[in-house]
Amino acid sequence: MQRIALILEFLLLFVGLPLGYRFAPVRIPALPVLWVITAYALWQLMRDARFDRGRLWNIGALPGRVGLILAIFVVVAVVIWLGVRRFAPELEWGFVRSHPGFWAIVMVAYPVLSVYPQGIIYRAFFFERYGAFFPSRWAMILASAAAFAFMHLIFRNWLAVGLTFAGGLLFAWRYAETGSLATSSFEHALYGCWLFTVGLGQYFYHGMIATVGSALKR
């Protein structure tokens, strides 16, 4: 009975909700929905006596890996920048140029309000809650990345889905390897902030930046 309940929960959270949001006739702000799901995930984690609460942060794992994380990031960031420059030069640095003040706010707020909540849901909660469904570590990492990418259907473009699947593999692997949500979220924040900076942010929000940006122009 418990297994059936977990399967239904999984289908609701990671299939039903993204699809319902994607095809809803009215657009709802994405962040409040994310925070509600995060609150539910945290509640379940705190109720689980087997869960090591230290995994929700564990900043001690970051210093020993920050060099490798930054090295990989620099290579990927250059590739992404060259791709934007080659295929969508009109987007290059667009957010920074048009709204530098708001860009600075996003650089600070995005890791706290979006990245870490996503890490709770798609890494800490996902790994702990559904570990029995995916017996190998790589199966779990793949499933986490697939769920993470599927959620990005709400942004109604395939670039977001493709990039977040690749990123999801890296972030899930980092969490599995370190047991540190702080380390995984640091890496996630690097890539997310870079996408906003280099000009691809419009593929990863639901109209929020455009709306605020228009208001700032007035």
Q: Residue 175 in contact with residue 184, Cβ under 8 Å?
A: yes
Cα–Cα distance, 127 to 144 (Å, whole number): 8
In order of 43, 104, 106, 196, the CA distances from 96 in angstroms are 37, 8, 11, 8
Q: Report how far residue 211's alpha carbon sits from residue 67's, in angstroms, rounded to the nearest whole number.
A: 37
Domain span at 104 = 2-217
- Split at pLDDT 50, 70, 90, the class of 171 is very high
The CB density around residue 26, as the number of other CB atoms within 10 Å, is: 4
Higher-confidence residue of 60 and 210: namely 60
Which pTM does this prediction carry?
0.94
pLDDT digits (tens, 9 = 90+) for 111-157: 999 999 999 999 999 999 999 999 899 999 999 999 999 999 999 99
pLDDT of residue 215: 41
Please check the confidence at residue 166 and state whether its pLDDT lies above 50: yes
* Structure tokens, 73: 């990031």
Q: Six-digit token pair at 136?
A: 């190998």
Question: Can you give the pLDDT at residue 206?
Answer: 59
Q: Which sign does the torsion angle of CA 7, 8, 14, 19 carry?
A: positive
For residue 198, is pLDDT > 80? Answer: yes
Residues in the chain: 218
Q: What are phi and psi of 93, to 5 degrees?
A: 60, 20
In the three-class reduction of DSSP (H, G, I as helix; E, B as strand; rest coil), residue 124 is classed as helix
Please count the structural domains in the chain. Answer: 1
Question: Which amino acid appears at position 105 of this protein?
Answer: I
Q: Is the pLDDT of residue 181 over 60?
A: yes
Predicted confidence (pLDDT) at residue 213 exceeds the cutoff of 70? no
Evaluate whether 205 touches 82 at the Cβ level (below 8 Å). Answer: no
pLDDT value at 43 more than 60: yes
Q: Which of 80, 118, 120 is nearest to 201 (CA)?
A: 80
Distance CA 138, CA 141 (A): 5
